Amino acid sequence: MYALNFAQVGKNISNVMVQRGMTQQNLADQLGISKQVMSKIIKGYKAINVTELSQIASILGSTADSLLTIDKSLISCEPSLAFMGMIKDEETRAKVELLRNAIDQIHLLEELANE
């Protein structure tokens, strides 16, 4: 999953928390995790598994589906890199996506190492 998607899931969780008048600390306490870990989830820095997502949805009175909804307007159809402009061919697009995924995995590993 691209890191932007983790950020979107965190944003979705945050939006439901606001609607329910719930703080990160409240949700963290009910999940049995620290506020710092909850903050990482909300910011999209920590991947969550299906069980965690289900627990969060249940506590928030929401559904996993709604928390997983990705705002397509945030995902560019034409990825661009400032140093190379618009990507036009599929081979280059695939290579850039591969690099992005590798970078995302490195960021996740760094976050796990720093916990």
pLDDT digits (tens, 9 = 90+) for 24-80: 999 999 999 999 999 999 988 888 888 999 999 999 999 998 998 876 654 444 444
pLDDT of 92: 83
Does residue 114 register a pLDDT over 80?
no
Distances (CA, A) of 37 to 33, 48, 72: 7, 11, 26
47: left (phi over 0), alpha (psi -120 to 50) or beta: beta
| Domains with residue ranges and CATH for the chain | 3-72 (1.10.260.40), 76-113 (no CATH)
* Confidence at 19, pLDDT banded by 50, 70, 90: very high
Residue that is written with structure tokens 């949700």 in the block: 27
Per-chain mean pLDDT for the chain: 82
| Structure tokens given for 67 | 């928390």
- Three-state DSSP class for residue 24: helix
- Quick check: pTM over 0.85? no
